[in-house]
Amino acid sequence: MRVVVTGGAGFIGSNLCDGLLAAGHDVVAVDNLSTGRESFLAGARQSPAFELVLLDLFTERDRLAEVVAGTDAVIHLAANADVRFGWQRPQRDLEQNVMVTCNVLEAMRATGVGRLLFSSTGSVYGEAPVTPTPEACPFPVQTSLYGASKASAEGFIQAYAEVAERAQATSAACIVDDTSRKEFQAAFCRSSGMCRNPKEPRRAP
């Protein structure tokens, strides 16, 4: 398979790229390097099946269609994950989490790519009354711009999937703490169904 990974130069995305390559897939990592690092992709760049595309998914959306054209699947990790300081620049969550997701979806629709794996968050549940929180819980009150933007993105994904023929969309969320950080990438690869025996992920910088 040919897989596009947005946010591919992040510490999660780069490990996912490694896992996909190890499973025999062709991988295109898309990143603007605002928070990602090329050094995380040092191993992946040694593979002839890997390509890095430097692209801002918000300001350069017109280039996105040519990147995803002919792709079997898109794994959308790129996002603004700065939960604590969201109110200092509220527009960032709207632009990077909602509008960028819409740009990805529109590029997929325009090119006929029908498989998406989206990295969501447990923050979409806000202050849930029950923990662990089941997915069937009532729609929660949002307590952060980050959670609200991810919930909005999930809504757009659902709408695109409903109107597209043969579309398949999966949303994955994982709450990571010090004891479970090493399990994140392995769990994410299992949920995608595209990785086998992924490497242990790097530590967050």
Residue 54 CB: number of other CB atoms within 10 A?
12
- 23 domain residue, yes or no: yes
Helices (H), 9-84: 11-22, 64-68
Q: Which residue from 83, 86, 85, 102 is spatially nearest to 154, judged by alpha carbons?
A: 102
Domain CATH for 47:
3.40.50.720
pLDDT mean values, one per 10 residues, the chain (205 residues) = 96 95 97 94 97 97 96 94 75 93 95 91 78 76 87 90 65 42 40 46 42
pTM of the entire predicted model: 0.80
- 201 domain residue, yes or no: no
DSSP sequence for 89-150: STHHHIIIIIIHHHHHHHHHHHHT--EEEEE--GGGG-S-SSSSPPTTSPPPPP-SHHHHHH
- 122 domain residue, yes or no: yes
- Please state the domain count of the chain: 1
Handedness of CA 134, 131, 16, 5 (dihedral sign): positive
Q: Residue written as tokens 């040694």?
A: 46
- 84 domain residue, yes or no: yes
**136 alpha carbon, distance to own chain's centre:** 22
- 174 domain residue, yes or no: yes
Q: Residue written as tokens 């590029």?
A: 107
- 199 domain residue, yes or no: no
The predicted pLDDT at position 171 comes to: 55
Distance, CA of 112 to CA of 106 (rounded, Å): 10
- 200 domain residue, yes or no: no
Q: What pairing do the DSSP bridges indicate for beta strands 2-6 and 115-119?
A: unpaired
Task: State the catalytic residues.
Answer: 146
Which residues touch 112 (CB under 8 Å, ≥6 apart)?
Answer: none
Q: Residue written as tokens 């994950």?
A: 81
Indicate the DSSP class of residue 202.
P
> 52 pairs with which residues across the strands?
29
- 47 domain residue, yes or no: yes
Q: Report whether 79 contacts 7 (CB < 8 A).
A: yes
Residue 28 sits at the vertex; the CA angle it makes with 62 and 43, to the nearest 5 degrees, is 140
Domain containing 7 equals 2-192
User: Can you say whether residue 191 is alpha, beta or left, with left for phi > 0 and alpha for psi between -120 and 50 degrees?
Assistant: alpha
The predicted pLDDT at position 178 comes to: 38
Radius of gyration of the chain (CA): 16
